Amino acid sequence: MTLSGQEYTCVAGQTFDMVSLLVYGDEVYACDLLCANPALSTKPFFTGGEILQLPVVEIPDVDEDEDYMPPDAPWKG
């Protein structure tokens, strides 16, 4: 995992998924944040002032998935 060299200072009540949404635009990167900050990984909520190391994540372009059409679910027959 590569760290970006940037940090984020948490606000009281925030969670890893909230920070992920704010920083990266999607909660899916919360796992990356957890892995980059193992000392804080057991905290369900931040008390405020915790400093997270921000990892570099690959965020796909929205245009790449624009033409994607998921297959029909088998139960829709």
Determine if the pTM surpasses 0.85: no
> What is the predicted pLDDT for the residue at 70?
61
Return the half-sphere exposure (C-beta side, CA atoms, 13 A cut-off) of residue 26. Answer: 10
Per-residue pLDDT of the chain (77 residues), as tens digits, is 777 789 999 999 999 999 999 999 999 999 999 999 999 999 999 999 999 999 998 877 766 555 655 666 566 55
CB 77 within 8 A of CB 43: no
The DSSP secondary-structure symbol of 12 reads T
Residue 59, domain member (yes or no): no
Residue 65, domain member (yes or no): no
Residue 21, domain member (yes or no): yes
> What is the predicted pLDDT for the residue at 24?
92
- Per the structure, the count of domains in the chain is 1
Tokens 């690959």 belong to: 58
For residues 27-41, b (16+ Cβ closer than 10 Å) or e, as one string? eebbebbbebbeebe
Structural domain for 32, as ranges? 1-54
Tokens 């200072």 belong to: 9
Residue 64, domain member (yes or no): no
Residue 61, domain member (yes or no): no
> What is the predicted pLDDT for the residue at 57?
87
